[in-house]
Amino acid sequence: MPKLINLTGDQANTFELLAKDYEGDVKANTIVPMAFFMANQEAVLNAGNVGIWIDSEEQPEELPETAKTLPVIAINFPKFMDGRGYSIARYARERLNFEGELRAIGDVLLDQLSYLKRCGFNAFDMRDDVDTELALSSLGEFTEAYQASNEQPTPLFRRR
Checking if the pLDDT of 87 tops 90, the result is: yes
> pLDDT for 103-145, tens place per residue?
999 999 888 999 999 899 999 999 888 888 888 888 777 666 6
> pLDDT for 16-60, tens place per residue?
999 999 999 999 999 999 999 999 999 999 998 999 999 999 999
Q: What is the pLDDT at residue 111?
A: 87
Q: What is the pLDDT at residue 152?
A: 72
Q: What is the pLDDT at residue 147?
A: 67
Q: What is the pLDDT at residue 106?
A: 95
Closest CA to 50 of 30, 33, 69: 30
The DSSP H or E segment spanning 126 is strand 123-126
- CB neighbour class for 59 (10 Å; exposed up to 12, middle 13-18, buried from 19): exposed
Domains detected in the chain: 3-158 (3.40.50)
Q: What is the pLDDT at residue 1?
A: 64
Q: What is the pLDDT at residue 149?
A: 67
